[in-house]
Amino acid sequence: MKIGYIRVSTVEQNEGRQYEAMKNLGIEKFFEEKISAKDINRPRLNEMLEFARSGDTIYVKDFSRLARSTKDLLDIIDLVNNKGIKLISLKENLDTTTSTGKLMVTMIGAIYQFERENTLERQREGIAIAKKEGKYKGRKEIDYPENWTEVYNKYKCRELKGTEAMQELGLKKTTFYKLVKKYEGK
């Protein structure tokens, strides 16, 4: 079976170029997600790796769609190779089942990781400069939701689990626990 993996980092980004690159390959099943590749804990990636069987071929537009770190990329490649699955990157035009392909993937993965780390470093430097100049204030602080006290009290009395409280408040995990910490004066 021919399988396509499509990934963009955010909801705002468009995955159209990746579909376009694969349109003439006869892909039978696509796995798409809009999430960062900072690690391999991605629902659709894991679903695809579980779904794929020996003899299948997974296509990606380029290896950066699979992983941003060399280690993660090599771990994914080892997993698919051990399952007898072929992995092909269209941009790099590489087949990971050959020794040359494995060597090239290692080098490409290292380059992607290097680029990612450089981007993050430049971003941190830019933020530091903007802070010095008073142009960067950080994210806007999130106010407590209207039903905060009621839900918080249920959470503290163990009537609600953390995930249930987050759902009732409409908050993400990090925001919820940040507000709990602030509310408790810690």
What CATH number corresponds to the domain at position 69?
A: 3.40.50.1390
Pick from 59, 84, 112: which residue ends a domain? 112
pLDDT level of residue 32 (50, 70, 90 thresholds): very high
Pick from 67, 93, 112: which residue ends a domain? 112
105 shares its domain with 174: no
Q: Indicate the pairing of strand 57-60 with strand 94-95.
A: unpaired
Q: Identify any residues that bridge with 26 across adjacent strands, giving them in sequence order.
A: none
Residue 15 counted as domain residue: yes
Domain count, the chain: 2
Residue 18 counted as domain residue: yes
| Arithmetic mean of pLDDT over the chain | 87
155 shares its domain with 77: no
Residue 158 counted as domain residue: yes
CA distance readout (Å), 58 to 52, 82, 87, 92, 117: 8, 14, 5, 14, 27
Residue 14 counted as domain residue: yes
Residue 61 counted as domain residue: yes
Percentage of the residues of the chain whose pLDDT score is greater than 70:
99
Reported as a single tens digit per residue, the pLDDT across 106-118 is 787 778 778 878 8
- Residue 15 has a pLDDT of 87
Residues belonging to the chain: 186
105 shares its domain with 157: no
Enter the DSSP assignment of 93: T
- Residue 186 has a pLDDT of 60
Q: What is the pTM of this model?
A: 0.58
Catalytic-residue membership of 9: yes
Range of the domain at 157: 148-183
163 shares its domain with 79: no
- Give the list of residues 6+ apart from residue 154 with CB closer than 8 angstroms, or none: 160, 165
- Residue 53 has a pLDDT of 94
E-assigned strands of 66-171? 86-89, 94-95
- Residue 22 has a pLDDT of 94
Residue 123 counted as domain residue: no
Pick from 92, 112, 132: which residue ends a domain? 112
Reported as a single tens digit per residue, the pLDDT across 124-171 is 998 889 888 888 877 778 889 999 999 999 998 889 888 899 999 999
26 shares its domain with 72: yes
Q: What is the Cα–Cα distance from 179 to 143, expressed in whole angstroms?
A: 9
Reported as a single tens digit per residue, the pLDDT across 67-87 is 877 788 888 988 998 899 999
10 shares its domain with 79: yes
Residue 117 counted as domain residue: no
- Residue 169 has a pLDDT of 92
